[in-house]
Structure 1
Amino acid sequence: MKKIILSVLLLTVVCFDKQVLAQDGKALFQQNCASCHAVGKDLTGPKLAGIEERVPDKKLLYAWIRNNQAVLATGNKYFTDLYNQWNKTAMNLFPNLTDEEIAAMITYVNTEAAKATAKPAPGDTSAATQAQQSDNSLLFGILTLILAIIVLVLMQVNSNLKRLSDEKDGIPSYEPVPFYRNKAYIALFAVILFIVGGYYTIQGAIGLGRSKDYQPEQPIYYSHKVHAGTNQINCLYCHGGAQEGKHANIPSLNTCMNCHMAINEYAGEKLYREDGTEVNGTEEIQKLYSYTGWDPDQKKYVNEPKPIEWVKIHNLPDHVYFNHAQHVNAGKVACQTCHGEVQEMGEVYQFTDLSMGWCVNCHRETKVQFTDNKFYSIYEKFHNDLKNGSMDSVTVESIGGTECQKCHY
């Protein structure tokens, strides 16, 4: 019975091993890589899709991820060219990552790259069906349940056969205890319930108040892909507060009308919502006119304007202090680091969970740009250490970026 139970537990672990590994790889990627890299697009660093094809030597690749400076010192041509191509921007060091953790991240990257390659054209309603077919988690769960039932039946059959054998040999037999009253079964069930329930309880508690991937439908379909991507409108044109103040601010209707007084029709590529339905861009511009009171025929405002009730997406707890200007202006942090590739988004969604762990990890690994940055001129010691070679870089943590009172006071 012990062998059978162990076999069932082992089978369950194997069935869900890929899913757990993928989750770990995604979490590790978000913590260590997402601030500079994306799977399919170049950000601060190069895209990671196809990394194993570009660097087939696994040992060399792992060594680069842990300590890129040590690999560059060996004179490796590929990585030296890559370093020069990206303006000699040094990658963060990750000496504590294990082989298993790096392998999990690469597996996640390969999985996401395969999804992007197989992604159908916008509006193709077969996407959800294909994704559902590729997810075998439900199948594994059903098979595990069926096997567990078979094991229980076989155990009962074994018990009955043993009783018949004992009767034939004249050995007195006792009425078997029903499985629902068997202490061993009850204890095993309680342990499994405790482990599974505890796991989901912890995951749920960790996720409280977080809104990763939150993507509400807005009053007007505003496509960042069209504005920031196709038309190359700088983020700070609409969100000027991000450079000068604590909040990035939502642009006023006047900001929108600076362009849309003249642009009253949409003639770009087709727009689609996440569910695949097509969006009429010209109608969305007309919605803007209804809020501003602008008459495109008379070329003047004819009605009183009314505010657009945009749905807030990114939100931090009240006890957390975050200043956009300090990150964008002083820290030179790209918008995509926290908000993802907004220039590729139709309706914006929350790219990361904005958790404390995610922020602290970024502060631990992000290198401060001291060169030509007056904000850091007061750190004379670090400037001297960089000049004499006793330090090769300074992270946000080095200047107190992980102290509690920096964000909580």
Structure 2
Amino acid sequence: MISFRRLAKTTITGTILLFGTLSVNAQDGKTLFQTNCASCHAVHKKLTGPALAGVEDRWPDKTKLHAWVHNPAGFAKTDAYAAGLIKEYAPTLMTGFPQLSEKDIDAIVDYIKTVPDPSKAGPAAGPVAEKGEESDNSLLFGILTLILAVVALTLLQVNANLKKLADEKEGHGGVEPVPFWRNKSYIAMITIVLFVIGGYLTAKGAMALGRSKDYEPTQPIFYSHKVHAGINQINCQYCHIGVYQGKQATIPSVNICMNCHAAITEYNGEKLYNAEGEEVNGTAEIQKLHKYAGFETSKTWANWDPSNAKPVEWVRIHNLPDHVYFNHSQHVKAGQVACQTCHGEIQKMDEVKQFADLSMGWCINCHRETKVQFKDNGFYSIYEKYHEDLKNGKIDSAKGITVEKIGGTECQKCHY
């Protein structure tokens, strides 16, 4: 019986771990797809490149698929099918992604298989309320603490009165009780409680100084990331061109916007709403952009004079203190951190807000948990001990080397 129970427990645990792993891989595949593929590919729709649904059937040999993703131009010289793809979609040539591992590519393929085909979907379901962010329960805990304190004081007073009645019944001469407002024990207890509550609120308020979580300012032009990055699947790097090369991600200039909106002069998509729930006229917002660009829709692209353009005065949302150093390229390119990790599900936002508090604790926790691509990486050759420990099995390869182990929580890494 014991062996049977142990076998059943092992089987159930293994099943849970398997489904948990598949869920994590699907989520990783979704992030990798949105970061690397979505600018040119859709799952069930042909864009700049072919639709990716059924890609596994078109590439039955995964080794060839991996080679194609890593170096399309080079692999096409040795494979007829790859050469045909380049010819079909010429002059556009797929960018190679040598930074993606074979596991990353497999995760993307697994995610593609989970995306349902909208043409085969049934009737659209009614709107489903999105799960909101976890609320701050500090106020609730404070009220409960106050109620419990009042109950405790009341019970103490009741106990004193009952003791007095018992002494009078037994004929003992009771001492006249000290009034509540003159009782030194009560006064001391209230003072300590107020000191603790006041200290907690003061410390919490001081730590929150300069943080702007959920900050959502009104911008001069209503720009919907949901429409651009979500529905139209424009890659983040198309607009934020510095995210791979520099410290700043950079705000796109007007001419980048006009690459599309010189031709797209009207908005015909789903209804837009601002943070107050008011409907936004998308076409009017595009006209605001044209005004900043000095572009008149009555004229053609050839007659547009960019010298009349002026920059859009966007309101900055994410801002770190001056004594904090943060480099986008180090995180996005070297660390392979997805945009959504720090900015939230940006592809689902209309008006952008600050997703995380960007506190020191938040950053350090990420450095403690985030694995780096350590194995066979010459950049980290100075950490010879970790390389040897990985080879000898002293470090679990599944857990890997975190940012913290290579100095990612040292003060001088982020502070000047």
Q: How does 1:184-199 map to 2 (within 5 A)?
A: 184-199=185-200
**1:197-222 CA deviation, whole Å, 9 max, x = no partner?**
22222222222221122111111111
Does 2:404 correspond to 1:397?
yes
Amino acid paired to 2:311? P
- 2:206 aligned partner: 205
**1:235-259 CA deviation, whole Å, 9 max, x = no partner?**
1111111110111111111111111
Is the Cα contact below 8 Å between 2:293 and 2:306 reproduced in 1? no
- Over 3 Å counting, the alpha-carbon distance change for 1:314 and 1:171 in structure 2 is same
**1:1-47 CA deviation, whole Å, 9 max, x = no partner?**
xxxxxxxxxxxxxxxxxxxxxxxxxxxxxxxxxxxxxxxxxxxxxxx
Mapped partners of 1:406, 1:258: distance in 2? 38
Please state how far the C-alpha of 1:155 moved relative to its aligned partner.
5.9
- 1:92 aligned partner: none
- 2:346 aligned partner: 342
Deviates more, 1:241-250 or 1:290-299: 290-299
| Structure 1 portions without partners, runs of 5+ | 1-56, 62-70, 90-115, 121-126
Amino acid paired to 1:350? Q
- 2:258 aligned partner: 257
**1:268-287 CA deviation, whole Å, 9 max, x = no partner?**
11111222121111111111
- Over 3 Å counting, the alpha-carbon distance change for 1:290 and 1:58 in structure 2 is farther
Mapped partners of 1:403, 1:149: distance in 2? 46
% identity of equivalent residues: 64
Q: How does 1:349-364 map to 2 (within 5 A)?
A: 349-364=353-368
Q: How does 1:157-196 map to 2 (within 5 A)?
A: 172=173, 175-196=176-197
Among candidates 386, 392, 413, match of residue 406 of structure 1 = 413
Q: How does 1:52-71 map to 2 (within 5 A)?
A: none
Deviates more, 1:192-201 or 1:171-180: 171-180
Deviates more, 1:166-175 or 1:335-344: 166-175
- 1:307 aligned partner: 311
Please state how far the C-alpha of 1:342 moved relative to its aligned partner.
0.8
Q: How does 1:2-401 map to 2 (within 5 A)?
A: 77-79=18-20, 118-119=129-130, 172=173, 175-299=176-300, 300-301=304-305, 304-370=308-374, 375-376=379-380, 382-383=386-387, 385-391=389-395, 392=397, 393-401=400-408
- Over 3 Å counting, the alpha-carbon distance change for 1:88 and 1:151 in structure 2 is same
Is the Cα contact below 8 Å between 1:291 and 1:307 reproduced in 2? yes
- 1:98 aligned partner: none
- Over 3 Å counting, the alpha-carbon distance change for 1:144 and 1:78 in structure 2 is closer
What do you get for the CA RMSD once the two structures are aligned? 4.0
Aligned residues: 305
Structure number with greater CO (CA < 8 Å, separation at least 6) is: 1
Please state how far the C-alpha of 1:386 moved relative to its aligned partner.
3.8
What TM-score results when the alignment is normalised by the length of structure 2?
A: 0.61
SS at match of 1:360: helix
- Over 3 Å counting, the alpha-carbon distance change for 1:152 and 1:59 in structure 2 is farther
Please state how far the C-alpha of 1:371 moved relative to its aligned partner.
6.2
Mapped partners of 1:361, 1:230: distance in 2? 32
Mapped partners of 2:382, 2:141: distance in 1? 59
| Structure 2 portions without partners, runs of 5+ | 1-8, 30-101, 105-126
Deviates more, 1:230-239 or 1:370-379: 370-379
Please state how far the C-alpha of 1:372 moved relative to its aligned partner.
7.6
Mapped partners of 2:194, 2:377: distance in 1? 56
Is the Cα contact below 8 Å between 1:295 and 1:301 reproduced in 2? no
Please state how far the C-alpha of 1:322 moved relative to its aligned partner.
1.2
**1:278-337 CA deviation, whole Å, 9 max, x = no partner?**
111111111112222211112334983332221111111111111111111112111111
- Over 3 Å counting, the alpha-carbon distance change for 1:256 and 1:402 in structure 2 is same
- Over 3 Å counting, the alpha-carbon distance change for 1:157 and 1:387 in structure 2 is closer
Mapped partners of 1:160, 1:353: distance in 2? 51
